[in-house]
Structure 1
Amino acid sequence: MAACSVAVLLALEAWRAFGGSTSMIRPEDALPGRSAPMEVSEQHYVLKNPMRGPWPTGMQKFVFANGCFWGSEKGIWRLPYGIFSTAVGYAAGFTPNPSYEEVVTSRSGHAEAVQVIFDPLKIDLVDVLRWFWEAHDPTQHMGQGNDVGTQYRSGLYYFDEDQKELFLASRQAYQEALRAAGVASDA
């Protein structure tokens, strides 16, 4: 059996063992993790650009969570011209440098997340943000479709006050649209 298949089976066994919890773990109960970050390829396999900064002058960063990071990353690649690089990983958790197997237990506190490096002269953050809201159902609690667990929760992670204000305004606009459509939510 291939190593990848073994890792996936172990992750599934771990998920089943811990039930894909929809309750956030307390920081003091999180898994211990490790000090060394995961190794990352130098070049993006699909986009052929660097996987890590420093980024070319003018590039901006957007990090979000909206379910399974593999599907979310693939969706970003379909956006119009302007996406420079993407990377999947984990955000907003407690376990330092968690593995996939740890995250799927819901015992690290992380959400599956995607980092997008984009050129704002070619694609506006508003367009990437619109894609975020339309690409998932933020009214589902701790999950997306059949994917259930704290790692599948929605999240927007800002890097400056302008992003924070834009994210909050977009959340409010989306919330109002959901209410107008008769969907009760705290998106």
Structure 2
Amino acid sequence: MFPNKQIIVVYPDDYEDLAVAMQHEISKVDSFDCSAWSIEHYKQNAPTLSGRSYAVFLGTPDENRFTKMYQPQISKIVNVNGACLGWDGSKAIIFGEGNLEKKPAFDAFKSKLGYGSAAAGIASSATLGTVMSAGFLVAVPALPAAIIGGGVYSVAKFFMNKKARRVLRYEQTKMAIYNFLLTELEIWTKGRE
């Protein structure tokens, strides 16, 4: 019998809920052991990890220093309307760009996929990716639609755009996790056997 594959999901504070949901979904599969670690926890424990340990880094290079470290080594990063993922060897990165120009295409893509409707009620005998998809399906929160007059409008618009980028980046990261679990996890972990 082969030992379980150890996967560590390394997250910045803003993505703790996504990391825990991802860890939960991966841990449902018999051949995987999965943990969710903060960036600081990973930094402290990385020297003790086996070369057989897999690590998934959530967040942009600005949000997660390990994404920044490993991104240059990953030759192919898939970008689907701002939802980005890639892997090489035992390291994978997943993040959302947060580019507001891609928001309409991202929203249309989510809608076209039926993001959330297909994953509900999946039987335990389904494929690995299909089983894991349900934990990441939530609608984007609405942003304030108030219009503020004068010079305050520029400042308000800046902060609204900053918030909108953060919300979009979070949703794109969630979609990238969904895609990773659905299409890449098995390929990634089987490639090193």
Same fold at TM > 0.5:
no
Question: Does 1 or 2 have the higher relative contact order (CA < 8 Å, sep 6+)?
Answer: 1
Task: Give the TM-score, by structure 2 length.
Answer: 0.28
Task: Give the TM-score, by structure 1 length.
Answer: 0.28
Q: Kindly indicate which of the two structures has a greater share of residues assigned to helix.
A: 2
